[in-house]
Amino acid sequence: MGLLKNLFGAAAERALSQVKDAIVNAAQQKQAQAPAHNAPAPQPQGYEKKLSPEQWQAFFRGILQTDFAAYGIRENVPVTDLAGMAADSAQLYSTRPTQVYRAEWGQPFSFVLYQGAQPRAVVMLGAGHSHYSNVKYLISRMYAKKLGLPYINFYTQMPNERAYVVGRIGKFLH
């Protein structure tokens, strides 16, 4: 800096100092705007509320009663109420052809929608990926398919916004 002062005078030294200050300020602003690496990622809207199984049941019950009022609703329906005791004992896994699964071993349907006395659709609530890994859910889904009923599953760890639930159920019923 002394050499610059000798060559160009005090004005050059001030200009250099201002450039240096500007670079330091820009670096500080960039650091302040950068997200902290240890800070949790912001969650999508709807994930912040964790509901209990009873609250999920009440939430879906309310939607079914208001948006699908043309349908009768039954809750926690045993598979055997629709499929009977299943004397045919359908085989569930093609990889285990000798293993037999019976309807009474299935997960009760969370909701069954009826029109008149006829069941029209099944709505299942499950946590995690239970619909694809838990044998009870697999049995229930298989019997719903055998009965020709849409099996509409919802994961309770997801937000399940009202509009999404109504649209998804409506797509299966219309």
Answer whether residue 40 is part of any domain.
no
In a domain, 42, yes or no: no
Q: Kindly list the strands in the beta sheet with 118-126, ordered across the sheet, starting from the edge strand earlier in the chain.
A: 72-77, 109-115, 118-126, 151-155
If asked whether residues 27 and 79 sit together in one domain, one would say no
How many domains does the chain contain in total? 2
Residue 25 inside a domain? The answer is yes
Structural domain span for residue 116: 53-173
Q: How far apart are alpha carbons 59 and 52 in whole angstroms?
A: 10
Please report whether residue 112 resides in a domain: yes
pLDDT tens digit sequence for 35-50: 544 443 343 444 446 8
In order, the DSSP letters of 122-159 are EEEEESTTHHHH-HHHHHHHHHHHHTT--EEEEETTS-
Q: Is 121 part of a structural domain of the chain?
A: yes
Instruction: Read off the pTM.
Output: 0.64
Same domain? For 166 and 113 the reply is yes
Q: Are residues 137 and 78 in the same domain?
A: yes
| pLDDT tens per residue, range 92-141 | 555 655 666 666 778 899 999 999 889 999 999 988 766 666 788 888 88
